[in-house]
Amino acid sequence: MTKNEALFNYTLRLGDDSLILGQRLAEWCGHGPILEEDIAITNISLDLIGQATNLLNYAALIENKDRNADNIAFLRLEKEYCNILLVEQLNGDFGDTMMRQFLFDAFRKPLFEMLQFSKDKQLAAIAEKSLKETKYHLKHSSEWIIRLGDGTEESHQRVQNSLTNLWRYTDELFFTDESDTILSGLGIIPDFSKIKEVWYANVTAVFEQATLQIPANNWQFEGGRKGRHSEHMGYLLAELQYMQRAYPNMEW
C-alpha cells in the first residue's frame, strides 16, 4: 500500500464518521426535547457536515481520480462507506443520542489534539479547525450524560440502558489496520493506543460523576471500517443519496 492510498483510506474514514453522524443528528430537527436543545443538536450536525466536507474534499484530492466531496459522499455503494458502526445507530431517545455523541466526542477530542501536529499540513489544519468545535461538542455531551445519569430515577435507567447498548460499538473507535500503521510510522497520524488511554480516562471519569456503570460484558462489534454495516445503513443511505440517484449528473 502506498502512502497516498493509506492517507486516502484514513481521511475517508474520518470523513464518513462525520458525515453519517451529522446525518443522524439532522433527524432531530424539530423534535428535540426543548427548543434550545434543537438548536444545540442542529449546530453540532452543521459542524460535522462541515468537517465531512473538508475531509472528503481532501480525500478526493489525495485520490486524484477526478472525484469531489459530493461524489464521494453521495454515490458510493454501501460497502464502500467506512464509518464505524457507532455513528450509524438509530437516534433512539435523547439519552441514546447523547451517549452515542459522548462516546464519539471523547474520542475525537484527543484525536484532533494530536492530529494537529501531523506531518501532513492539510490534515493538521483540518484537525486544528475541527478541534475547536469538538471541544464544545464534548462539553455539551458530557454535561448531558452527567445530568441524565444523576438526574431522576427514570433518566438514570434510560441512559444506563443507552450505555449498555452502545458500549459494544466502542472498540471500533480504535480500529487500526495497515493504513494506520503506515501513517503513524510517517508521523502523519497519532498512535491510536495513546488516544484510547485518554478516551478511557475521560469516559470513566464522566460515568463516575453520572453514577453510570460500564457493562461487565465487553463483547464488541465491528465491521463498519471494512464496509460491513448494520441494517440501519441501507435506509440511511437511501435517504442521503435519493436526490443524486433520482436526478443523476445535475447541479444544485
Partner 1 sequence: MKVLNTEELNRKFQEKIDNDIKIEPNDWMPDAYRQTLIRQISQHAHSEVVRMLPEGNWITRAPNLRRKAVLLAKVQDEAGHGLYLYSATETLGADREDTIDDLHSGKAKYSSIFNYPTLSWADMGAIGWLVDGAAIMNQVPLCRCSYGPYARAMVRVCKEESFHQRQGFEIMMKLANGTPEQKDMAQDALNRFWWPALMMFGPSDDDSPNSQQSMKWKIKRFSNDDLRQQFVDATVAQAALIGLTIPDTDLKFDKASGHYIFGEINWNEFYEVVKGNGPCNKERINARRKAKENGLWVREAAMAFSAKRAIKKSA
Partner 2 sequence: MTNKDWPLWEIFIRSKQGLNHKHVGSLRAADAEMAVENARDVYTRRSEGISIWVIESNNIHASDSSDADMLFEPSNTKVYRHPTFYDVPDGISHM
Q: Which residues bind partner 2 (CB under 8 A)?
A: 34-36, 39-40, 43, 136, 139-140, 143, 147
CA torsion angle 55 61 64 69 (round to 10): 50
CA–CA dist 22, 121 (Å, integer): 25
34 binds partner 1 (CB under 8 A): yes
For residue 120, the minimal CB distance to partner 1 (Å) is 22
DSSP character for 32? Answer: S
CA–CA dist 54, 11 (Å, integer): 10
Q: Cell 477526478 maps to which residue? A: 66
141 binds partner 1 (CB under 8 A): no
233 binds partner 1 (CB under 8 A): no
Start-to-end C-alpha separation, the chain: 36
29 binds, among partner 1, partner 2, none (CB under 5 to 8 A by kind): partner 1
Q: Where in the chain does DSSP place strands (E)?
A: none
Question: Among 6-14, 149-157, 195-203, 218-226, which window interacts with partner 1 (CB under 8 A)?
Answer: 149-157
Residues between 63 and 102 with contacts to partner 1, criterion CB under 8 A: 69-70, 73-74, 93-95
203 binds, among partner 1, partner 2, none (CB under 5 to 8 A by kind): none
**DSSP of 197-238, one letter per residue?**
HHHHHHHHHHHHHTT----S-------GGGT---THHHHHHH
13 versus 140: smaller Cβ distance to partner 2: 140
Residue 214's Cα: distance from chain center in Å? 20
For residue 139, the minimal CB distance to partner 2 (Å) is 7
Question: Among 30-38, 113-121, 124-132, 174-182, which window interacts with partner 1 (CB under 8 A)?
Answer: 30-38
Residue 109's contacts (CB-CB under 8 Å, 6 or more residues apart) are 131, 134, 135, 138, 202
139 versus 245: smaller Cβ distance to partner 2: 139
Give me 186's grid cell.
Answer: 510517517
For residue 157, the minimal CB distance to partner 2 (Å) is 18
244 binds, among partner 1, partner 2, none (CB under 5 to 8 A by kind): partner 1
Residue 185's contacts (CB-CB under 8 Å, 6 or more residues apart) are none
5 binds, among partner 1, partner 2, none (CB under 5 to 8 A by kind): none
Question: Among 83-91, 118-126, 193-201, 235-243, which window interacts with partner 1 (CB under 8 A)?
Answer: 235-243
DSSP character for 172? Answer: G
- Burial code (b: 16+ CB inside 10 Å, e: under 16) for 169-179 equals bbbbbebeeeb
Q: What is the binding site for partner 1 (CB under 8 A)?
A: 23, 26-27, 29-39, 42-43, 45-46, 49-50, 52-53, 56, 69-70, 73-74, 93-95, 146-148, 150-152, 154-155, 158, 239-240, 242-244, 247, 250-252
